[in-house]
Chains A and B, each alone.
Chain A
């Protein structure tokens, strides 16, 4: 059983559509991070959320941390082919100085 469950595993959409991907856990996290990983590259940090209920926006991407700090979501508006990649969430728990990763959501945006 994974500590951080990401859904969906795969998502294939057309350019211009909106989408939401989820990162859920039964555990409380001190912070959650979202990364995007493109083929042949390592993950690149997009955002870190630390406060329950926090919402952060990065252009067309909106990140939300759940009130109880057990879950997070990433919403993309008007997806572009350049958004294609593997989206990973990773969390840190109090007292544990390491990142715990989810398995990721693989997004394909078609022109």
Chain B
């Protein structure tokens, strides 16, 4: 248990569906992150939020829409995804966004797009 939970753990969706991934951290952290982990590729940073404000969008397609209503919760809204978006989506949190701050990862949501 890292103090970061993600739901659902598994998700299968069609290309025309709309779904949302949820992340919650119980560590009192101020920064939250979304990463994408595809087979045989390095973890790719998608978005960073610090004190609920988005500070980084790593050229992510608009079919991925993040939302951070407060420092403890982070959502990733998905719509009209492509099969190549199938991956493990990991959420992480850290105390802040200073260089080298330890990030704590959730278990991820395994997404399959049909």
Residues of A within 8 A of B (CB): 2, 4, 9, 30-31, 40-45, 48, 50, 88, 90, 92, 94, 96-104
Please measure, in the bound complex, the distance between the C-alpha atom of A86 and the C-alpha atom of B108, giving whole angstroms: 15
Top-10 shortest CB links A-B: A42-B105, A101-B43, A101-B42, A103-B42, A31-B100, A41-B107, A43-B105, A42-B90, A42-B106, A42-B107
A99 contacts across to B, CB distance below 8 A:
43, 45, 103
List residues of chain B with CB under 8 Å of any chain A CB. 2, 4, 9, 40-43, 45, 48, 56, 90, 92, 97-100, 102-108
- List 13 contacting pairs A-B, 8 Å CB cutoff, sorted by A: A2-B42, A30-B99, A31-B100, A40-B107, A42-B90, A42-B108, A43-B105, A45-B102, A45-B104, A48-B102, A96-B99, A98-B45, A102-B42
Q: A43-B105, A44-B105 are in contact. Are A97 and B43 (CB under 8 A)?
A: no
| A9-B40, A92-B99, A103-B42 known, 9 other contacts, Cβ within 8 Å | A41-B107, A42-B4, A48-B100, A88-B43, A90-B43, A94-B99, A97-B99, A98-B45, A100-B42
